[in-house]
Structure 1
């Protein structure tokens, strides 16, 4: 259904002649007024009277939004493009001047822009709401790229262009820079660069190249802002290439309801979604920061979201004890695990469960309630060098998915406050635990057979996976 063409006097009436009291937002291109039309609250965006570029933006935004209908895209209600004469004083004389008024009317979003809910350090929203916003933004962007007859590239996605309704449902807005393309595979070069630094990908800044990966990079930067605040990108770069450190950093700042902590399935969902978001921004923004061809497309991201939702639905429908183990049997993305759970499945890291040791870690057999087994690798020699090696191993395994490389199921990067003796007295000290949870390999390492500690017999399955030695 096409949007309504309003007369200027109609919009003047419902905004009290564009009263200052009804302004709910200001921007570089115009002001936004709150109004009531036929009993429905709406937002009236009045563009500043600037010729040329802004008129092009107005027509562009109107054309793009006129046909789009999606729960995560702002709904255009109507518009007004009016030119009239007004008697004005100019250089001491009265002249008749042409005044252009360009206005767009949208559904009113009670939650304001996402930008208002993000502080320097983190979002002031609880994680459940943050994840809902991330999920909805992904779905809205996927609709733009894949749900139209001709794909639409937004080209200016950022927190200030994501609005929230009274249920905190996100809706992508502002399509002044958006462009239609023949297919999502198309890429082209622009003559001028427009957008917001921090949300523009490197290939656009360097060579003005536009593709479907432009919006994906902007999405990654937006997710970082939601998770780690306005200063999040700088902090993300500081802890790269370690997603485990980034998750720990986010966990210290993001708000979750205390009552949720007592509900195990909800806590598992918290860790699953937090881990998924960290893996996604790693795929988008690191390590292939400048390589758009290896950046995932939005369709791939939404597909992973759907798989995650199916896994979450399954584990939250199980009894609490079974939910703990289910997190270790989910899809390809590793998840953050609680230290206590790893203690439980390894009998508190008992010697009886010990499988082997290496230069800086010990590997234990973990037994799940359903009888399945996993391998839990624990850092025991905690030096700066060993911590770095351990983190590198976890971060590398996060990006690998191959039948001949041992699979990382989860990890634990948890800091405890312990009471310990120091110089003839007891003091509180921080103790950070580093653990990796890997698929269990019942036949051990190849080294056992080569060194003569075992023999290769016909009974050994042919599909024993060769392991990279440093993993064990």
Structure 2
């Protein structure tokens, strides 16, 4: 182990920006070795021959808290000195002024250059090396990596008076040196804590798939946050991306048995007792680390203690078994040359142009290729293919500009993450613009020119335009001219459901009958999309994506993040997590594994909103009531408590038997076990049955009311019945 006093003496240097430009060849593409959410990493060589990695942070952007990220990473890395933590070599923070032209005049603008410099690690990031048991690193190397990560994390949590919580531990943030020694890096989201008490944040930070449920649901941060991330990382080290995807479909014991058997095959020998114990012990520890209940997770100190108890003879036995595999440095060389580990082909080819974590493309699995398609699509930008369809029209930019009165502010219908939606008028036959009140109204979504991310969503909507259903918003066509990208939809007069549920824009609250109509309409739309012939997963079922037409028929809209569902023998997709917080299924957020049951969870949240008149997430409410699902679930389980959830704006005008059935259906859709959620066909049948029962109940009440009225009139009395609630008023 390196001497800590020696490490401490290496005080990080204050580099000039000019020097960093020089050693990275002016930050050239040839020197680029990685890209992340806050900056680009380049390789550079100092005058003394030391090779370093230079992370040049992006210039300030409203959407990135890069100042905090820079300060966190710099100050926290200065505090730590450990062989399993990336060493900070130096930093740069310079402010300069340059003369630029602005509105026809020359002015001085301030430019802030920031960079962090680290030791250069030949092995690259761990995510490049994740494979299943049949190829890649041997068991001994993987065990060494796991133990090193745990020791590094233990040092962060317990090595000084103030604990450092990393909050973004994942394979992409773990680097490997020439000898496969793991080093934890990227401390941009890390935080200092004086104790182990629970702390809270106001928003989500971190990487989907590595964040624990208590943080996703309630923003709680404890040391067990990093332990959960560690568990996910160990599982992926042990079984690869493919093996991890099977974890969600198995019990803990089944998964342990699967991984153990795979290692038996990989080692091509009878697993020795010590080896068998080591394999099982590591996977058991990992599964305890990812327990949903954080109380059941071990501390990192306990994890390190358990690993140290694994008999040291494992190392000797595994060293013998691993001699038939290529050495770690040979494996790194293979990766750098884009050669494959045998027996897999391209088992770990890393895309340095991908997103924050890059993309792993595996020819061993069509599923992994599909998972990486998002980043491929994004890089292709305007050159992405548009599927031909006779139902989709092509509009000119000039015509849409005139149809919306030059995109006048008075024509704005709404604004989203990718641009504004305007109301326009076009001739039904010629598609040419016309005066307001003539022709047909349309909704024109104009994509922001700076939004490269939005192009994927724009393209996805066009390529799903061939779908036709009464409960789907119809896409008339699109415009793609130079940098202009627009979509043209049918105009839906009553706007989005959220306006009516939450009384925005002076909208009247929806009656119970209309809420039932909306629920059934959305269910039919999802059932259509989920059918085998269509096989589309929406990924973003929520109130603002449901529009109401003139007679309050619900129409599902916004398919920008929709994807084709799994095919053949696949049980799920592995994708980057998309959607909206509060509606996304917990297993999808935690693992990135996507199925149709994720849409059904979102529909369950929507049912709760229709029942309660509350938002899925509302930070203006008391702490225990902010998450609608968590707050409502206990009430829905008891017949006599359901009324506590019902929207008071309904004024009691509803059928209580129907409310009970909808509450039961919502609970089924929100089941934490996705396998127990109903299919959308079943949901439609249940809602149709509830609607039929309501009509029959209303008819019986009406007939009963007539008899009561006749009897009361004979007694010169007056009586009135609430035909929905069944009570006298």
Q: TM class by shorter-chain length?
A: 0.5 to 0.7
Q: Displacement of 1:156 after TM fit?
A: 0.5
TM-score under structure 2 normalisation?
Answer: 0.40
Q: Unpaired runs of 5+ in structure 2?
A: 1-8, 320-729
Residue number in structure 1 paired with 2:239? 228
Residue number in structure 2 paired with 1:136? 148
Which of the numbers 104, 123, 128 marks the counterpart of 1:111?
123
Larger radius of gyration: 2
2:22 is aligned with 1:13 = yes
User: Is the helix fraction higher in 1 or 2?
Assistant: 2
2:94 is aligned with 1:82 = yes
1:155, 1:178 within 8 Å by CA — same for their partners in 2? Answer: yes
Distance (whole Å) between structure 2 residues aligned to residue 45 and residue 156 of structure 1: 17
1:123, 1:226 within 8 Å by CA — same for their partners in 2? Answer: no
Distance (whole Å) between structure 1 residues aligned to residue 185 and residue 69 of structure 2: 13
Q: Secondary structure at the match of 1:135?
A: helix
1:49, 1:100 within 8 Å by CA — same for their partners in 2? Answer: yes
Distance (whole Å) between structure 2 residues aligned to residue 117 and residue 160 of structure 1: 10
Q: Displacement of 1:290 after TM fit?
A: 2.2
Q: 1:314 to 1:229 in 2, by over 3 A?
A: closer
Distance (whole Å) between structure 2 residues aligned to residue 168 and residue 3 of structure 1: 24
Q: Displacement of 1:255 after TM fit?
A: 8.5
Which of the numbers 252, 263, 268 marks the counterpart of 2:262?
252
Q: Displacement of 1:249 after TM fit?
A: 4.0
Residue number in structure 2 paired with 1:295? 297
Q: Displacement of 1:67 after TM fit?
A: 2.1
Q: 1:206 to 1:246 in 2, by over 3 A?
A: same
Q: Displacement of 1:250 after TM fit?
A: 5.8
Q: 1:34 to 1:254 in 2, by over 3 A?
A: farther
2:134, 2:262 within 8 Å by CA — same for their partners in 1? Answer: no
Q: How does 1:141-290 map to 2 (within 5 A)?
A: 141-183=153-195, 185-243=196-254, 245-249=255-259, 251-252=261-262, 256=266, 261=269, 267-285=272-290, 289-290=291-292
Residue number in structure 1 paired with 2:55? 45
Q: 1:309 to 1:139 in 2, by over 3 A?
A: farther
Q: 1:109 to 1:200 in 2, by over 3 A?
A: same
Residue number in structure 2 paired with 1:35? 44
Residue number in structure 2 paired with 1:447? none
Distance (whole Å) between structure 1 residues aligned to residue 95 and residue 168 of structure 2: 29
Residue number in structure 2 paired with 1:464? none
Q: Displacement of 1:269 after TM fit?
A: 4.3
Q: 1:102 to 1:257 in 2, by over 3 A?
A: farther
Q: How does 1:88-107 map to 2 (within 5 A)?
A: 88-107=100-119
Deviation per CA, 1:131-153: give whole Å up to 9, x if none. 11111000000000011221111
User: Is the strand fraction higher in 1 or 2?
Assistant: 1
Report 1 or 2 for greater relative contact order, CA contacts < 8 Å, sequence distance ≥ 6. Answer: 1
Residue number in structure 1 paired with 2:137? 125
Q: Displacement of 1:246 after TM fit?
A: 3.4
CA RMSD, aligned part only? 2.5
Distance (whole Å) between structure 2 residues aligned to residue 22 and residue 208 of structure 1: 39
- Regions of 4+ moved over 6 Å: 120-123, 313-317
Residue number in structure 2 paired with 1:306? 308
Q: Displacement of 1:43 after TM fit?
A: 0.5
Distance (whole Å) between structure 1 residues aligned to residue 242 and residue 93 of structure 2: 39
TM-score under structure 1 normalisation?
Answer: 0.61
Which of the numbers 19, 25, 31 marks the counterpart of 2:34?
25
Q: 1:3 to 1:114 in 2, by over 3 A?
A: same
